[in-house]
Structure 1
Amino acid sequence: MGNTTSPTEERGGVDPATAVTLRRAFSSYPTGVVAVAALNQGQPAGMALNSFTSISLEPALVAVSVARTSSTWPVLADRPRLGLSVLGADHGTLCRQLSARTGDRFAGADWHPTAEGAVLIDGAALWLECGVRETFDGGDHEIVVLEVHGAEAFPEVAPLVFHQSAFHRIAASS
């Protein structure tokens, strides 16, 4: 009897058709979008992520998941503080800029640095100032647990929501 597993399955991956199915399935789960940013040599460096979650209140911990192919994460990983800004519903264009592989990701953006070098985006629904606590293997991603050192919420700002590869606004149910 021959081997019935593919080389992709043997190394723990999925075949291309399953990967497409999973991508579609995962996109059916609405998420917020977070900008993760810090100063690097006096200039803002950052990226947009939709893999953000709260972990713990005591101690205050959150987590993000960063693709191993990211060229931005290596720049941010050793910063003393990272700014996490839950992007507002009007930040769709900025989110696309922060997700771009080239160009000035902060062109036209309103932002400010903290004393520790975290970069926070003006008009966000939430600001968190964090430090990297631990990282874990997450397959083709790195799971980063961050300790929250400061937070400021803006409840009047509706968050940007990403669902089925498009941006949406939250609407109150009737």
Structure 2
Amino acid sequence: MLTTRFAHSARQDPDPTRFRSVLGHFPSGITAITSRDADGKPVGMAVSSFTSVSLTPPLVAFLPGKSSSTFPAIAERGTFCVNVLATDQEWICRALSVSGGDKFSGVTWQPGPHGDPVIDGVVAWIACTIEAVHDAGDHHIVIGRVDDLDARTEASPLLFFRSHYHHLAAA
């Protein structure tokens, strides 16, 4: 495995508020990463830091914060489902973004290939097995091997840009 570390001269890191604001100018889709806890109950988190990694083998990645109370259950199970949220699913994003409570209250879903929740009405879903977890500052980089996936061609994704939700506009 190739790992490169770069030497950095003494410098001051950008202010975290400014850093977040500037990076908020990069639009992203919103996903719901779902799994099941040790008791079989659904768990999930809203994540905009999701990306494809490799075609061969098929790999994707998401970056949960180390302070996440949901990620430990996902890591313990070893499987997860990426649900690409649709424009009418902002409320699901908000429900999965809070700590505690029943995040799945009112959310309809079906068990995916690993039994993890595939949320009804999503643009796409991707069932994965955790391949690796890497340390990255105050986050983890979770690499998932894609085991199965599907998409709805008629649905439009929910987007996040400059701290607000957005939808695609027809050209």
Counterpart mapping for 1:90-129 below 5 A: 90-129=88-127
Unaligned 5+ residue runs, structure 2? 1-9
**Separation of aligned partners in 2, 1:72 and 1:127:** 19
Q: Cα offset for 1:92?
A: 0.4
**Separation of aligned partners in 2, 1:153 and 1:147:** 17
Query: 2:16 maps to which residue?
Result: 19
Q: Which is further off, 78-87 or 56-65?
A: 78-87
**Separation of aligned partners in 1, 2:70 and 2:56:** 29
**Separation of aligned partners in 1, 2:127 and 2:163:** 28
Structure 1 runs of 4+ off > 3 angstroms?
A: 12-15
Amino acid at match of 1:155: T
Is 1:29 aligned to residue 26 of structure 2?
yes
Is 1:166 aligned to residue 156 of structure 2?
no
Taking structure 1 as the reference length, what is the TM-score of the superposition? 0.87
Identity fraction in percent: 37
Question: Greater Rg, structure 1 or structure 2?
Answer: 1
Q: Cα offset for 1:95?
A: 0.3
Change (3 A) 1:13 1:76: farther
Equivalent position SS for 1:92: helix
Query: 2:6 maps to which residue?
Result: none
> Cα RMSD over matched residues?
1.8
Deviations 1:73-114 (A, max 9, x none): 001112142111001111101100000112211110111112
Equivalent position SS for 1:158: coil
Is 1:146 aligned to residue 150 of structure 2?
no
**Separation of aligned partners in 2, 1:144 and 1:126:** 19
Deviations 1:17-51 (A, max 9, x none): x1111110111111001111112212111111000
Taking structure 2 as the reference length, what is the TM-score of the superposition? 0.89
**Separation of aligned partners in 2, 1:71 and 1:57:** 31
The answer as to whether partners of 1:80 and 1:116 remain within 8 angstroms in 2 is no
**Separation of aligned partners in 2, 1:68 and 1:150:** 27
Q: Cα offset for 1:115?
A: 4.7
